Amino acid sequence: MKILLLGYGKMGKTIEQIALDRGHEIAGRIDLQNRAELDTLGASDVDVAIEFSSPESAVANIQDCLKRGWPVVCGTTGWLGHRTEIEALCRETNGAFFYASNYSIGVNLFFRLNKILARFMKSYPSYRVSMTEVHHTEKKDAPSGTAITLAEGIMEELPTKKRWSSETAEQPDAVAIESLREGTVPGTHVVRYDSEVDTIEIKHVAHSRQGFALGAVIAGEWLAGRQGIFGMEDLLGETVAV
């Protein structure tokens, strides 16, 4: 399979190595410095594009690929205000678009556990829910896309929570998300329920970028030849009921 890499930072390089190890070919490596090279690639030069660039670049990258007929796997976060128009373009072009805020298999199991716990906690309003996410200092968006997905899962199950907030002070209708940027941390997410008598926590700690990168390559393998809009639930299947 011929994979186009959009974004060639640490994550892009990790994806490249995993893709090569799995027998794939790299069709191109596009970053801010050489974006004009995108125009040199023909429709048959790319089987799937994997997009891990920046919030500022992601929308144009995705649009350009869909217009060229290339399936897109996107892991960039911080651009989702444009998601409706991207999905409309995907339908208009009969394209294929796969988005996940996190491609780690473990994190996606954590998403499901988070929803199950929130469902249990609905009957215990004395517990206050909050979240902390920690990432490396180069991460530009905050809160992380993973934290927002976790908050959305909580909001689906707890009727009193209508939104998420970056303000850590308690707000009755919001899931508070504290965002910390430290060193080279790949990603840590903690969901916490506090009461006067105890605390319940669930936690996911990524040890490296390998899990994210492997999941993105697997998503690319799965997406090639398909049409439509997809996410990790489609890839993994309903192996755990939520």
- Measured distance between the N- and C-terminal CA atoms of the chain, rounded to whole angstroms: 34
Contact at 8 Å (CB) between 131 and 176? yes
**24 has catalytic annotation:** no
Residues 93 and 142 in one domain: no
Q: Is residue 74 part of a domain?
A: yes
What CATH number is attached to the domain comprising 229? 3.40.50.720
> What is the model's pLDDT at position 233?
87
Instruction: Output the CA torsion sign for 42, 26, 22, 57.
Output: negative
What CATH number is attached to the domain comprising 202? 3.30.360.10
> What is the model's pLDDT at position 1?
95
Residues 169 and 228 in one domain: no
Helix axes 105-121, 145-157, angle to 10 degrees: 30
The range of the structural domain enclosing residue 225 comes to 2-99+210-236
Residues 214 and 95 in one domain: yes
Residues 77 and 135 in one domain: no
> What is the model's pLDDT at position 98?
97
> What is the model's pLDDT at position 203?
98
Residues 126 and 63 in one domain: no
Residues 197 and 153 in one domain: yes
Could you tell me whether strands 96-99 and 228-230 are parallel, antiparallel, or unpaired per DSSP bridges? parallel
Known binding-site residues for NADP(+) equal 35
Q: Can you give the pLDDT of all 242 residues of the chain as single tens digits?
A: 999 999 999 899 999 999 999 999 999 999 989 999 999 999 899 999 999 999 999 999 999 999 999 999 999 988 989 999 999 999 999 999 999 988 988 999 999 999 999 999 999 999 999 999 999 998 878 999 899 999 999 999 999 999 999 987 888 999 999 999 999 898 999 999 999 999 999 999 999 888 889 999 999 999 989 999 999 989 987 443 33
Residues forming a β-bridge with 129: 193
> What is the model's pLDDT at position 117?
98
Report how many domains make up the chain.
Answer: 2
Tokens of 19: 């893709």
H-assigned helices in the chain: 10-21, 55-67, 83-92, 105-121, 145-157, 210-223, 232-236
Known binding-site residues equal 35, 75-77, 100-103, 136, 145-146
Residues 173 and 86 in one domain: no
Residues 24 and 79 in one domain: yes
**140 has catalytic annotation:** no
Q: How far apart are CA 24 and CA 38, in angstroms?
A: 19
Residues 230 and 137 in one domain: no
Residues 112 and 87 in one domain: no
Q: Is residue 181 part of a domain?
A: yes
Tokens of 139: 């991460």
Q: Is residue 241 part of a domain?
A: no
Residues 214 and 229 in one domain: yes
Known binding-site residues for NAD(+) equal 75-77, 100-103
Contact at 8 Å (CB) between 141 and 78? yes
Q: Is residue 242 part of a domain?
A: no
Residues 70 and 123 in one domain: no
Q: How far apart are CA 182 and CA 16, in angstroms?
A: 26
Q: Is residue 193 part of a domain?
A: yes
> What is the model's pLDDT at position 238?
45
Q: Is residue 230 part of a domain?
A: yes
Determine which one of 24, 115, 135, 189 is catalytic.
135
Helix axes 10-21, 210-223, angle to 10 degrees: 60
